[in-house]
Amino acid sequence: MLSATVKALIVVFLVSTHKTLPFAYFFRFYYHVFRRFFLTKYSYNANNKRNTFGFNSPKDCFKWVTLSSRVSPLEIDMYLHKSNSTYFLDLDIARTKLVTEVMQKLFWNYVDNVHGEFKGKGMANIPYAPIASVMCSFKRELKPLQAFDIKSQIFSWDSKWLFVLSKFVTKGDKLHAIAITKYVFKKNGRQTMKPIEMMQEIGLVDDEVLEQVKKNYELVKHLASSEDLERISHQL
């Protein structure tokens, strides 16, 4: 029989490594999908179809959404800090939380077929958002069991791409890593949705927002095209 001490150590280990246990990514991802989308239908309707996470006017467009986490022992690399590769898994979860909160009204509009462009109502109408690319810059290491936040926001867009900014920070807003993700939203199979139309539909656009989007785009426009990378790949 295992002693109480050994059992306690096993429990501590499992809790501290919950992010890296088998199927952990699956449960972390769908936890946010279900909690922030599927479980919000009643509150969304009761709130007269206003975003229940506070994204209801242009002043909310660039609001940060925070995911809190901690460095798991199984995320540690040979240098005894959080492995670079594990940042991308955490980014997936943080962006899922952001998108399901910001786009709540858009997604429910499609489920309810408010524009009449589908055969009927249903979850199959929901747009999907594949990631085109992620650029991450690492600034400071994160140590074993160190607590950190991932703060994400809508940053900019063009005629096709939506850019999300995410930053890994610790107490005092100390920056450890910063990432830009390029999204494209699709509906009806392969039909690309224009970000400006999406953001207008959920009420997050005015002249001031568009001016800031234009300024931000200057910082990420080099990510809008992958032609140079594709050209390099053909030369190899």
CATH number reported for the structural domain that contains residue 173 in this entry: 3.10.129.10
> Does 235 reside within a domain?
no
Q: Is the Cβ–Cβ distance between 55 and 102 less than 8 Å?
A: yes
Q: Which amino acid is at 65?
A: V
* Structural contact between residues 32 and 96, judged by C-beta atoms closer than 8 angstroms: yes
Say what the pLDDT of residue 91 is.
Answer: 97
Q: Are 131 and 183 in contact (CB under 8 A)?
A: yes
> Which residue range forms the structural domain that includes residue 189?
4-224
Which run of H or of E encompasses 100? helix 84-102
- The torsion angles phi and psi of 153, rounded to 5 degrees, stand at -150, 155
Task: Answer whether residue 44 is part of any domain.
Answer: yes
| pTM value > 0.75 | yes
Element (H, E) at 111: helix 104-111
Place of tokens 């109502």: 121
Token pair of 179 as six digits? 């990432």
233 lies in some domain: no
Report CA-CA distances (Å) from 4 to 12, 15, 28: 12, 16, 29
Question: How many independent structural domains does the chain possess?
Answer: 1
Distance of alpha carbon 199 from alpha carbon 184, whole angstroms: 13
Q: Which residues pair with 76 in a beta bridge?
A: 82
Any domain includes 122: yes
Question: Is residue 99 one of the residues assigned to a domain?
Answer: yes
CA geometry: angle at 62 spanning 100 and 164, to 5°? 60
> Is 229 contained in some domain?
no
User: Which residue is listed with tokens 């450890």?
Assistant: 176
- Would you write out the chain's pLDDT as a tens digit for each of its 236 residues? 567 766 565 556 555 566 767 778 888 999 999 999 889 999 999 899 999 999 999 999 999 999 999 999 889 999 999 999 999 999 999 999 999 999 999 999 999 999 999 999 999 999 999 999 999 999 999 999 999 999 999 999 999 999 999 999 999 999 999 999 999 999 987 899 999 999 999 999 999 999 999 999 999 999 988 777 777 777 76
Q: Where are the alpha helices (DSSP H) in the chain?
A: 4-16, 24-36, 41-46, 84-102, 104-111, 195-201, 207-220, 227-235
Q: Quick check: is 35 in a domain?
A: yes
State how far the Cα of 5 lies from the Cα of 11, in Å rounded to an integer.
Answer: 10
List all residues 6 or more positions away from 96 whose beta carbon is below 8 Å from its beta carbon. 29, 32, 33
Contact present, 162 and 183 (Cβ < 8 Å): yes
Instruction: Report whether 137 contacts 178 (CB < 8 A).
Output: yes
Place of tokens 């990378």: 229
The answer to whether position 106 is within a domain reads yes
